[in-house]
Amino acid sequence: MTTCSDCHRPAVKPVGTRNYCDEHLLALYATFTSPALAHVGYGITDGAYVRCTSCNATWQGVTGDRCWWCQRSYAVMLEHQADLVTQPPDLDPDMADAVINARMAAWADRLWRAVLAGIIDERQAQRALTQQMKKAA
């Protein structure tokens, strides 16, 4: 049987010239994972199935598979977040300018954070802001 190049337990998968056990394969993947995708789990062997490290979904596959359920919920979450964040703040013509300015500034800040987090791109943020500026003018 092939053994892990790091710990000599049974290997589940070769990567390049090395072989990896469950644990070391996941550790290797973790080093490749961008922070934005950190909560998308991987399957690890659990009896006849693999089980997601993040949401516990099970499916028939091999250790190291990206979890479809996590990826799907991540995609849905991103779409939802993008909708939420590009929604302009509630403004009322009766509000004091200072209040309106503060709300707009807070919103611009949220948009910018969403750009940094990769939820929307800069063009989407600019478009949302420009539309709102036109409305306000």
Residues that bind Zn ion (CB under 5 A): 4, 6-7, 21, 24, 41, 52, 54-55, 57, 67, 69-70
User: Between residues 19 and 132, which has the closer beta carbon with respect to Zn ion?
Assistant: 19
- What are phi and psi for residue 40, nearest 5 degrees? -80, 115
Q: How far is the CB of 26 from Zn ion (least distance, A)?
A: 10
User: Between residues 10 and 105, which has the closer beta carbon with respect to Zn ion?
Assistant: 10
Q: Check if the beta carbon of residue 8 is closer than 8 Å to that of residue 23.
A: no
DSSP symbol at 124: H
Helix (H) or strand (E) holding 26: helix 22-32
User: Between residues 63 and 132, which has the closer beta carbon with respect to Zn ion?
Assistant: 63
